[in-house]
């Protein structure tokens, strides 16, 4: 998940909160290396010193915007063949629709059902899951031999960014660790109506494009929202730091002051704009209840465009997902905050019956090129074929419409820099991604994570209010002139001011402890 201009994309995907974001690739050995450059033992030991003599099935849950890939069982079996040999474990992969993700994870983490690995999102409950004991503490495991590949793949600042009260509960994926905000359009219609994308620089410019499509393409929705849980049109459109959840944000990246976003003139102005777009028919009519990803609505010929966080290679990524060529324009430049780094992570569930073995497999997702590319792209020769040492394309007779395995989740699966580069992307995409990360504007609060424990009651109440109003407001479905005052009144009654005060207190203490002024 600035590609944050985190807000619009957080609003746009969190409204489009999950849209977030992303890509990766590089090569590496299949076993951790020792200090002399050789391979470590073929039977890794876990943090507690035990080996892999007892077989184990690792259950990993991962969200998807699509239905479960037809060939999921084949990929699962191919990965298990490797993991059986290397760590004496098989792998069960559970793809879960984004629309059901939070509810199903809450059930699994609370019920005691066995779960080893799961994707966690910094803006969607990671901190709460951590402090309520649903996620395992990783400090001992991350320092062990079984996590050597993870430590090699992530700079210490990024690896430590998810810490809450000094403890680690999640491992960031290696991908774009910054984000910019932009506009994504079908190229065929851009060409058909001679739309000059170089002239699109603001939301007002976007509005002119939406009008062109509305006037000339009846039956086609000009602008699509994200899928369930990411329905807003606001997510990512921010030059401020969401501080993880947008319940108290830092409006200025260089000033450690926490403010109520929902009371700002900026928020009101954006809601007014999106309401006008909705009334003009530019936005999907059922935007507030839509459960289909924006690129999938384009693929189904139901939508022309969408807003969201971007990164290097984003146009090629979305073109594959949508099944048609897409073009992009940047509306806000790249920024980086804790939310960017912790936006997509892997965690080990407290329910896991073998946390050490779970860490061994997680390490493979960051260091084992064969495993990474199996879970990202499927089986070579069946789902894809190499066109160079680093680049791949669909296998003969296969495309985005008939592939048995095209989950488009390579940005979520560990170390993207171990992933093959799909044809259409620049062969230097990972170099570009590194520059993108390094050159982005960094928030002064990078590395700060809010612990909600002191305001759990208020946090739950405020979250309920957000769930009641936010998507409707941020899709333009609800009239902000009538509803925004009620929204803010209920946020006040639920205790948002207390949360913001606690967040400011924690931010001040974090800054003091880290020598940040």
Mean pLDDT throughout 327-351? Answer: 93
For the chain, what percent of residues have pLDDT higher than 70? 88
Round to whole Å and give the CA distance between 11 and 191: 29
pLDDT mean across residues, the chain: 87
Mean pLDDT throughout 232-258? Answer: 85
- Strands 326-336 and 441-442 come out as parallel
Mean pLDDT throughout 353-371? Answer: 97
User: pTM of this prediction?
Assistant: 0.72
Task: Name the token pair of 380.
Answer: 């070579």
Which spans in 88-202 are helix H? 98-111, 126-131, 139-142, 148-153, 156-160, 187-192
Instruction: Give the least confident one: 166-175, 384-393, 437-446, 463-472.
Output: 437-446
Element (H, E) at 308: strand 303-310
At residue 224, the pLDDT reads 92
Contacts of 151 (CB under 8 A, 6+ apart): 142, 159
Round to whole Å and give the CA distance between 101 and 444: 31
At residue 289, the pLDDT reads 87
At residue 124, the pLDDT reads 66
At residue 235, the pLDDT reads 67
Task: Name the token pair of 371.
Answer: 């495993």
At residue 380, the pLDDT reads 97
**Is pLDDT of 29 > 80?**
no
**Is pLDDT of 41 > 60?**
no
146-174 pLDDT tens trace: 999 999 999 888 898 898 888 999 999 99
At residue 468, the pLDDT reads 95
88-144 pLDDT tens trace: 999 999 999 988 898 999 999 999 888 999 999 876 678 889 988 999 999 999 999
Question: Which is nearest to 152 in space by CA: 283, 40, 232?
Answer: 40
314 neighbors 433 (Cβ within 8 angstroms): no
At residue 298, the pLDDT reads 94
- What distance, in Å, lies between the first and last C-alpha atoms of the chain? 27
Contacts of 14 (CB under 8 A, 6+ apart): 1, 123, 124, 229, 230, 232, 235, 246, 470
Task: Name the token pair of 15.
Answer: 């409204």
DSSP state of 157: H
Round to whole Å and give the CA distance between 19 and 503: 25
210 neighbors 281 (Cβ within 8 angstroms): no
127 neighbors 345 (Cβ within 8 angstroms): no
Which spans in 112-202 are helix H? 126-131, 139-142, 148-153, 156-160, 187-192
195 neighbors 250 (Cβ within 8 angstroms): no
At residue 66, the pLDDT reads 75
Partners of residue 58 on adjacent β-strands: 91
pLDDT-derived band at 514, boundaries 50, 70, 90: confident
Mean pLDDT throughout 268-295? Answer: 92
């Amino acid at each position: 998940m600035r590609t944050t201009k985190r807000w619009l994309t957080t609003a746009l995907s969190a409204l489009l909160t999950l849209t977030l974001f992303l890509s990766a690739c590089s090569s590496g050995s299949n076993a951790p290396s020792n200090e002399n450059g050789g391979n470590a033992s073929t039977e890794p030991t876990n943090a507690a010193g035990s080996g892999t003599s007892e077989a184990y099935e690792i259950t990993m849950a991962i969200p998807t915007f699509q239905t479960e890939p037809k060939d999921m069982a084949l990929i699962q079996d191919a990965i298990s063949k490797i993991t059986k040999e290397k760590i004496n474990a098989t792998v069960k992969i559970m793809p879960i629709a984004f629309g059901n993700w939070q509810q199903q994870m809450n059930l699994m983490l609370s019920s005691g059902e066995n779960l080893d690995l799961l994707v966690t999102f910094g803006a969607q409950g990671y901190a709460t899951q951590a402090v309520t004991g649903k996620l395992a503490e990783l400090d001992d495991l991350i320092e062990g031999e079984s996590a050597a590949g993870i430590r090699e793949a992530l700079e210490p600042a990024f690896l430590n960014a998810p810490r809450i009260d000094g403890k680690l509960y999640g491992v960031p994926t290696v991908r774009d660790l910054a984000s910019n905000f932009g506009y994504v359009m079908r190229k065929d219609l851009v060409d058909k109506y001679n739309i000059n994308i170089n002239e699109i620089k603001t939301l007002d410019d976007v509005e002119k494009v939406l009008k062109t499509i509305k006037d000339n393409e009846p039956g086609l929705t000009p602008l699509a929202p994200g899928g369930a849980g990411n329905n807003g049109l606001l997510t990512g459109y921010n030059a401020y730091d969401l501080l993880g959840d947008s319940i108290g944000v830092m409006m200025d990246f260089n000033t450690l002051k926490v403010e109520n976003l929902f009371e700002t003139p900026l928020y009101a102005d954006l809601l007014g704009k999106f309401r006008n777009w909705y009334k003009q028919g530019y936005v999907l009519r059922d935007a507030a209840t839509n459960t289909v990803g924006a690129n999938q609505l384009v693929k189904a010929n139901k939508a022309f465009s969408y807003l969201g966080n971007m990164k290097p290679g984003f146009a090629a990524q979305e073109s594959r997902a949508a099944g048609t060529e897409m073009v992009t324009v940047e509306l806000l430049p790249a920024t980086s905050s804790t939310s960017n780094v912790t936006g997509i992570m892997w965690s080990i569930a407290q329910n896991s019956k073998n946390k050490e073995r779970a860490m061994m497999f997680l390490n493979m997702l960051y260091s084992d090129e064969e495993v990474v590319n199996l879970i990202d792209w499927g089986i070579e020769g069946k789902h894809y074929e190499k066109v160079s040492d680093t680049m791949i394309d669909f296998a003969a007779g296969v495309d985005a419409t008939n592939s048995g395995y095209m989950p488009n989740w390579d940005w979520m699966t560990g170390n993207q820099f171990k992933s093959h580069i799909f044809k259409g992307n620049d062969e230097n995409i990972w170099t570009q991604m590194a520059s993108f990360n390094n050159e982005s504007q960094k928030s002064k609060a990078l590395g700060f994570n809010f612990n909600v424990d002191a305001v759990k009651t208020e946090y739950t109440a405020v979250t309920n209010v957000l769930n009641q109003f936010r998507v409707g407001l941020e899709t333009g479905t609800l009239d902000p002139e009538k509803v925004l005052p009620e929204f803010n009144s209920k946020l006040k009654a639920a205790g948002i001011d207390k949360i913001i005060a606690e967040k400011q207190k924690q931010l001040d203490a974090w800054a003091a402890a880290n020598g940040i002024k």
